[in-house]
Structure 1
Amino acid sequence: MRCGQITSVHRDSKQKQRYHIDLEGEYAFTVHEDILVKYNLFKGTEVDEVFYLEVIVAEEKHKAFLAALRYIGIRPRTSSQLQSYLLEKGFEAQIAEEICRRCKEQGYINDEAFAKQWVDERLRLKPRSPYMLRMELQQRGVEKSIVEDAVKGVSREAELEAARALIEKKARRLQGPPTPEEERKLLSMLMRKGFSHAIVQQIRGELRQRSDG
């Protein structure tokens, strides 16, 4: 039943913020407490077809917004990740887009801040070349212009330090200075990870200084 007068409102026994609405003595729909109050869904309120559809859409948007907040609350996300998540949860594309826009407007989602934080944390905790940082951000749906702004802030010295950190991690397993074959493997690893030719050449020189010493 979609039309009629609300004859009773029951709070859900398990989900205390959700309420079951009866129209003309029959169960009609369930809403969150926020929607209940916003639309004055109390005993005696008249519900017609148009009003019913408005309430149901509002309830679906509210449900999507709460799902978005839970998802974002685990760790920072990009707008693309959030939209994909909502679609996977079964929300319509139009609602997913609207919720993403709302989250941006309210500051819950900020791709620029996400990209900058991603680059900073990667360089500090898991050294990456600028090339790999670009790939990782693009895989998370960050726009190319935002990616470039975040990565262009990586100085040559920061890239060099990232390369050194990776080399040190691998070199710790070696017995003494690297042999020519071990050096080749270490430098190949840097190239595979997208470090520039200039950085690889500098690391080569540092490795050979270590061998000469």
Structure 2
Amino acid sequence: MRQARRRSAPGQEPPASGAAAEDVEPDPEGVARAIALRMLTGAPRSRAQIAERMAQRDVPEEVAARVLDRFTEVGLIDDTAFAEMLVRTRHNERGLAGRALAQELQRKGVDREIANEALQAIQPEDEAERAVELVRRKARSTTGVDPVKRRRRLMSMLARKGYGPGVALRAIDQVLGEEDEEPIEDFSL
């Protein structure tokens, strides 16, 4: 059974149907909310990360600010909680030092004051203890390697994770001392 086609009168455009009939500009506020909700579904994000994505999608600044303010007001966006969570997990799981964590928070757009508060959760003794754990783990895979090369590898691993030279050398000396390996006095990078 065939459907009858509606014809338009001469000089009139045919009635729009299908996708073309629905080709309307999306509501900027709806787009901003959708972006924020989509980003927050996977993992916590900073306000700056969400604002950046909205800017990439051409959401007007005033609309983005309004949506971000509302999400902050209801607790869906909380840079303080985000920074505390990031510091805690990255330090415990990946062994990152305060310096590396500060850089990561800065890359994610967290305010410096909020980042500094979150970083206070890591005490110097916690950082030193974590460095020793990392060296112990890495030292197992470097047994039998030339002592100078081994120290250099251990030092490089800790430097990539943001540990300063003092903390790194103390951790390396402690772990290698436990293995009854003589510390090398003239070690330079």
| TM-score, length basis structure 2 | 0.75
In structure 2, which of residues 61, 66, 69 is the aligned counterpart of residue 98 of structure 1?
A: 66
Deviation for aligned residue 1:133: 0.4
Give every structure 1 segment of 4 or more consecutive aligned residues whose post-TM-superposition deviation is greater than 6 Å.
none
In structure 2, which of residues 53, 56, 59 is the aligned counterpart of residue 85 of structure 1?
A: 53
Higher strand share: 1
Partner SS, residue 109 of structure 2: coil
Deviation for aligned residue 1:178: 6.7
Partner SS, residue 175 of structure 1: coil
* Higher RCO, 1 vs 2 (CA within 8 Å, ≥6 residues apart): 2
In structure 2, which of residues 66, 70, 76 is the aligned counterpart of residue 108 of structure 1?
A: 76
List gaps (5 residues or longer) in structure 2.
1-17, 182-189
Deviation for aligned residue 1:152: 1.6
Matched, 1:120 2:88: yes
List gaps (5 residues or longer) in structure 1.
1-12, 15-26, 32-55
Number of residue equivalences: 165
Identity of aligned residues (%): 27
Deviation for aligned residue 1:174: 1.8
Matched, 1:174 2:142: yes
Deviation by residue 1:55-108 (Cα, 9 ceiling, x = unmatched): x8xx42133213311221111000000101111122112211211111111100
| TM-score, length basis structure 1 | 0.67
Alignment-derived partner of residue 127 in structure 2: 159
**8 Å Cα contact 1:132-1:193 kept in structure 2:** yes
Deviation by residue 1:184-210 (Cα, 9 ceiling, x = unmatched): 331243234331343223213213313
Q: CA RMSD in A?
A: 2.8
**8 Å Cα contact 1:78-1:111 kept in structure 2:** yes
Deviation by residue 1:26-80 (Cα, 9 ceiling, x = unmatched): x79869xxxxxxxxxxxxxxxxxxxxxxxx8xx4213321331122111100000
Matched, 1:130 2:98: yes
Q: Aligned pair in 2 of structure 1 residues 174, 28: CA closer, same or farther (>3 Å)?
A: closer
**8 Å Cα contact 2:79-2:114 kept in structure 1:** yes
